[in-house]
Structure 1
Amino acid sequence: MWTQCRAALLLFRRFEILIFIQQLGSALFDTALQMVVKDRCANATDAGTPNLSTEDSRQKAMSNFYMTYNLILKLAPILPALLLARIGDRGWRRVPIIVPLTGYLLSRLTLLMLVVFHWPLEAMFAGAAFYGVFGGFCSYWAGVMTLASLMSTPEDRSKVMMRVELIYGLGAILGSLVSGHLFLLYTPNLGQGTILLIVSTVMFVLCLIHATVLLQVKEVGKVSEEPEGDTLVSHISDELPLVPDDVAPPKWNIVNLVLLFTAAILYDVAVGGAMEILVSFVMKEPLNWDATQVGYGNTAGHAIFFTSFLGVMVMRRWFSDASLILIGMVSFASGIYFMSFVTATYMFYLARSLTLFGLIPLPTIRSLLSQQVQGNSYGINLTFLQLALKFAGSAYIPAYTKIYQGTLDWFPGFVFTLSSIIAVLGMIPISIVGCRTAQKRHYERIQED
């Protein structure tokens, strides 16, 4: 009985449990926000261009809201994330996770209050600010990936990071499947979406409790003095994988770092820009989705977490990390190009099926990045990557929004074609990294011989 209890405690202290609950709550929130924005923008009119149709006016209002909302999400976390990364690298590994989760909770509470008390939609800008000043996803995900890096060897790191993405995706799939149905639940005292948002908020309360009380953050391979008799803590630490002590820390490889950062930014621009417009695109004719269809559509999008994980598990036997990244970029580029011509729901799912390996590039790039620096720089290095992606977002979000609004009349899917081109451009620096890595391995093999 005692052994079973220790095993259960060990399981619940893993950061994977936190990731699953967090993404489950986020998936519920995403559907709720999407439907609330659609409802509040239903009767929007544009005084500057009175000749716009009602549908185009709604699309312009929705895309303008998401542009401002996403810009706040991207820019507000910059300074807090840097501070939290430094704190985390000094040994306080929980801080870059707990603080952002507090911001998540406040943001979810803001939308709940907006629905309950009928606040204006602009109140969500305050929710985005709460999310950002507490570090946001930038700090939270860098903190999670730092834990994953510390608890894995360089050889297995890409596999471990993809496993993290898989768990993240499973939470998103489950949340998206039920979100549309939960949104439709209401009582005379609680309007549509209230129950969904209450459940989402409870999820983030559980995340905070887990991160504060249960989360295992002991650095792997670092021996710490523990009180005698603390057999439970000793047992837990013994169960964790250890990084060999004889592995020398790598020197910083500046050229590879620059190339990897460039590829990550280009790919993030392609994916982020397309996904930002997609939430508005599926709300317009001829798709015009309701809450249930939004949930199912989000599920299809999150399914790539599962297919990408399987792809890495199978293909890593024959392909290098650089090759896996290229496969993922080709997958996304082809799928998002097909999305340009979607006019029916079944075509949307066909386009999504082509992006089945689209999640492989970024976590694999993070894995390669962590192999270019020393272990005590994992946190700040991964945070710098997230910040670079945030700065890129401040440019592509308004650019994609204006391009979409300008092409609504003649080719609404033009932004998806643009994303496909940018994704292909991102393959160039990765190809160079692959060649450099292959040459280095060949040189080391000759020296050994």
Structure 2
Amino acid sequence: MHRILVSSVPDCRTGGEMGCVTVIEPVVGLHAFAMFMTYPLLQQYVYRRLWEQLSGSPFPVSVNQSHCSNNYTNLSIHQAVQRETSHFLIQTELCFLFPSLVSSLFLVSYSDSHGRKVAMVPPLVGSLLFTLTCFIVSKYSLSLSYLLGAAFFAGFFGGTSTLIGGCFSYVADCCGQDLAENSKREKTVRMARLDMVLGVLSGFGSLCTGFYIQATGFSWPFLSASILHLLNLMYVLGILKEPQGLSVQNLTPNQSSSSHRAVAESPQLATSQVMTRRFHGVYLLFAASTRRRNAVLLLILSAFVFYKVSKLGAMSIFLLYELNPPLCWSEVLIGYGSALNTLIYLSSFAGVSLLSRWLPDAHITLLGLLSVATGFFMATFAKTTLLMFLVRLPLLLSIMPAPVMRSMMSKLVLSSEQGAVFACMAFMEMLSMGVAFPVFSSIYAATISWFSGFTFLLAAGLSLIPVLLIGVMLWLRLDMKEEESKILTSEDDSEDSTGSEIPH
């Protein structure tokens, strides 16, 4: 049985498997480029379709539709279209959110015992089906309700957060649990590199959308995104290699033989047990652990949630704030702002790469959180174009907390628990998105008449909560090095006991 398990792991040296590449960055980059080319496409397509339905006339592409203009002949139609578009996009988000919350926990946790591709392939299939549906709907002018069904199935297959969780688990497996400073730094830097690739390719995808629409319309960009997802799927299935020894580490010969007997005796029972175990693994991540490790994990996870809510919520308001008075930005200025937002990912990656040489992870996280709070506080009072551009300066390190907190949690768990911990983070990230966007949009609409910068002030305040949580962790001296040494000792004992049971 041990020979069977070893042979199931791809080995480039034997040439028996196609998958011989461990470079995960192309998976994240292609997916980010395709999806962030799709999001603005979908918003603009829905807006134009609803304009045609409500006004009974073609969309006036040649008319200047600045939010600061009061020269509209049918201002009520514009307001109605904006309202209906907002409602439809919220329905789409909810159709995607609820199934994806469950599937993300299952798929990323399930990858602990069945390979990381389990958490990568379904989201890519779901994204491919979603963009193909968008292409068909736009090509043949079908009902927009098909997009709601496509969003539900895309969420059922996991969505972007599930794919990202699987990719971060993949990086954690490749870096291992070595306590050497170089190995720990490598894990933090490589996770920061994944976030950098995600942000930069997302920015490029968003910037390309406008030019593509002007040149070809909506159908071809949707089809191009589908082709990118298909190429990504082919890369994962045919070229990407599973982390070496994953199945051997997580399933001993005795466990494997007993599980095979259970399947043979009662297939239906085994299936239900497998489903239960996957969610039970997330539960055991905290239930079967020490109080000290649980305290550290919960503090970091809570800090991650507040960081995501504050950052996602405030960044979702940036475009509306720049379009409305007193800034009244044009498309050119918005493009420059988007380019600077992409630069933030590059500067944050450079910050993690350099600071990780001298500072521990917790201090790098605190520095990034202070960058977030300072930038949003400055945006609260930005009333001129120059000041709004300068807001990006204190935000240059604002992406650092996400990959560093992922790395901190990864270092605290066993190799067999990497999927479970990233499943929790994927679940909380999607939940944060589901809360941040509607809540901040509602608050912005309610406060724009008396204090348009209130949402940024709120985000700055929320970003101080994770500063407090990380500070509590340091104040209580919940030393991560002690927990990491216990993890390494547990890994070594497990390997020794497994090796002694294997017949030679």
Q: TM-score, normalised by structure 1?
A: 0.79
Aligned to 1:74: 97
Contact conserved, 2:96 with 2:153, CA < 8 A, in 1? no
How far the C-alpha of 1:36 sits from its partner, in A, is 2.7
Q: Deviations over 1:20-71 (max 9, x none)?
A: 22122123213323433454566899xxxxxx96666555444434433333
Look up the SS of the partner of 1:380 in the other structure: helix
In the alignment, the residues of structure 1 paired with residue 427 and residue 361 of structure 2 have an alpha-carbon distance, to the nearest angstrom, of: 23
Aligned to 2:204: 174
| Residue 36 of structure 1, aligned match among 45, 48, 53 | 45
Change (3 A) 1:157 1:443: closer
Change (3 A) 1:430 1:295: same
Superposition pairs for residues 33-182 of structure 1, below 5 Å? 33-40=42-49, 59-154=82-177, 155=184, 156-182=186-212
Amino acid at match of 2:218: G
Change (3 A) 1:105 1:79: same
Change (3 A) 1:64 1:287: farther
Larger deviation, residues 151-160 vs 296-305: 296-305
Contact conserved, 1:44 with 1:58, CA < 8 A, in 2? no
How far the C-alpha of 1:308 sits from its partner, in A, is 0.6
In the alignment, the residues of structure 2 paired with residue 217 and residue 161 of structure 1 have an alpha-carbon distance, to the nearest angstrom, of: 17
How far the C-alpha of 1:153 sits from its partner, in A, is 4.2
Aligned to 1:25: 34
Is 1:360 paired with 2:383?
no
Aligned to 1:245: none
Q: Deviations over 1:203-226 (max 9, x none)?
A: 1111111111111113368779xx
How far the C-alpha of 1:150 sits from its partner, in A, is 0.5
Is 1:389 paired with 2:401?
no
Amino acid at match of 1:163: R
Aligned to 2:414: 374
How far the C-alpha of 1:193 sits from its partner, in A, is 2.8
| Residue 433 of structure 1, aligned match among 463, 473, 496 | 473
Change (3 A) 1:437 1:117: farther
Is 1:196 paired with 2:217?
no
Larger deviation, residues 33-42 vs 88-97: 33-42
Aligned to 2:438: 398
How far the C-alpha of 1:147 sits from its partner, in A, is 0.2
Change (3 A) 1:365 1:383: same
> How many residues are paired up?
403
Is 1:322 paired with 2:345?
no
Aligned to 1:418: 458
In the alignment, the residues of structure 1 paired with residue 431 and residue 483 of structure 2 have an alpha-carbon distance, to the nearest angstrom, of: 37
Change (3 A) 1:221 1:134: closer
Aligned to 1:232: none
Q: Deviations over 1:47-101 (max 9, x none)?
A: xxxxx96666555444434433333333221222222124311133211100011
Q: Deviations over 1:235-288 (max 9, x none)?
A: xxxxxxxxxxxxxxx965000011011101111111222233345445555536
Aligned to 1:246: none
Contact conserved, 2:28 with 2:164, CA < 8 A, in 1? no
Contact conserved, 2:106 with 2:423, CA < 8 A, in 1? no
How far the C-alpha of 1:359 sits from its partner, in A, is 0.9
Gaps of 5+ in 2: 1-11, 55-74, 178-183, 250-287, 486-504
- Structure with greater helix share of residues: 2
Change (3 A) 1:439 1:384: closer
Aligned to 1:206: 231
Amino acid at match of 2:305: I
Q: Deviations over 1:167-204 (max 9, x none)?
A: 22332243234332222112xxxxx2333222222111
Gaps of 5+ in 1: 46-51, 187-191, 225-249
In the alignment, the residues of structure 1 paired with residue 356 and residue 232 of structure 2 have an alpha-carbon distance, to the nearest angstrom, of: 32
Change (3 A) 1:444 1:343: closer
Change (3 A) 1:254 1:424: same
In the alignment, the residues of structure 1 paired with residue 52 and residue 377 of structure 2 have an alpha-carbon distance, to the nearest angstrom, of: 31
Aligned to 2:214: 184
How far the C-alpha of 1:424 sits from its partner, in A, is 1.3
In the alignment, the residues of structure 2 paired with residue 125 and residue 341 of structure 1 have an alpha-carbon distance, to the nearest angstrom, of: 38
Is 1:257 paired with 2:287?
no
Contact conserved, 2:300 with 2:470, CA < 8 A, in 1? yes
How far the C-alpha of 1:111 sits from its partner, in A, is 2.5
In the alignment, the residues of structure 2 paired with residue 303 and residue 65 of structure 1 have an alpha-carbon distance, to the nearest angstrom, of: 32
Look up the SS of the partner of 1:318 in the other structure: coil
In the alignment, the residues of structure 1 paired with residue 92 and residue 376 of structure 2 have an alpha-carbon distance, to the nearest angstrom, of: 23
Aligned to 2:244: 219
Identity of aligned residues (%): 23
Contact conserved, 1:75 with 1:394, CA < 8 A, in 2? no
How far the C-alpha of 1:389 sits from its partner, in A, is 2.9
How far the C-alpha of 1:165 sits from its partner, in A, is 1.5
Contact conserved, 1:180 with 1:294, CA < 8 A, in 2? no
Contact conserved, 2:192 with 2:403, CA < 8 A, in 1? yes
Look up the SS of the partner of 2:116 in the other structure: coil
Larger deviation, residues 168-177 vs 274-283: 274-283
Look up the SS of the partner of 2:396 in the other structure: coil
Change (3 A) 1:80 1:10: closer
In the alignment, the residues of structure 2 paired with residue 330 and residue 44 of structure 1 have an alpha-carbon distance, to the nearest angstrom, of: 47
In the alignment, the residues of structure 2 paired with residue 342 and residue 201 of structure 1 have an alpha-carbon distance, to the nearest angstrom, of: 39
Larger deviation, residues 89-98 vs 163-172: 163-172
In the alignment, the residues of structure 2 paired with residue 137 and residue 182 of structure 1 have an alpha-carbon distance, to the nearest angstrom, of: 23
Amino acid at match of 1:162: A
Amino acid at match of 2:137: L
In the alignment, the residues of structure 2 paired with residue 412 and residue 12 of structure 1 have an alpha-carbon distance, to the nearest angstrom, of: 49
Look up the SS of the partner of 1:410 in the other structure: coil
Look up the SS of the partner of 1:94 in the other structure: helix
Change (3 A) 1:130 1:443: closer
Larger deviation, residues 391-400 vs 15-24: 391-400
Amino acid at match of 1:68: Q
Change (3 A) 1:57 1:171: same
Contact conserved, 1:331 with 1:358, CA < 8 A, in 2? yes
Contact conserved, 2:40 with 2:209, CA < 8 A, in 1? yes
Amino acid at match of 2:205: G
Aligned to 1:233: none
